[in-house]
Amino acid sequence: IVLTQSPATLSLSAGERATLSCRASQSVSRYLAWFQQRPGQAPRLLIYDVSNRATGIPARFSGSGSGTDFTLTISSLEPEDFAVYYCQQRSNWPPTWTFGQGTKVEAK
């Protein structure tokens, strides 16, 4: 399964809403996750199983979707949210994991 994220880059201002897309080449199970990666840091899990926020993740982050189309929404961007975001899915059998190519959210 190939995951395609769009757009590649999103230029927004703090306080604006960010909508990131992740499209799968075939239907994905519920195992769709989103990660944030800031420069020089390891990735951080934001959302798992399509719409569940990971521990400690603020409510401004939300995930939705089903089948082949998934969305990560950041309701109101904070300065620390400017980063690269990756979606990730797990195939059922054999277990394999794939990432999208990433969307960079940059300050306008």
Partner 1 sequence: EVQLVESGGGLVQSGGSLRLSCAASGFAFRSYWMTWVRQVPGKGLEWVASINEDGSESYFVDSVKGRFTISRDNAKDSLYLQTSSLRVEDTAVYYCARAMGGTVGDYWGQGTLVTVSS
- Which residues make up the interface to partner 1 (CB under 8 A)? 29-33, 35, 37, 42-45, 48-49, 54-55, 86, 88-90, 94-102
**What is the closest distance, in whole angstroms, from the C-beta atom of residue 8 to partner 1 in the complex?**
11
Q: Which is nearer to partner 1, 79 or 95 (CB)?
A: 95
Whose structure tokens read 């996750």? 33
> Minimal distance in Å, beta carbon 42 to partner 1?
4
Burial letters 16-47, b for 16+ CB under 10 A, else e: eebebbbbbeeebeeebbbbbeeeeeebeebb
Q: How far is the CB of 13 from partner 1 (least distance, A)?
A: 25
Tokens 């620390």 belong to which residue? 80
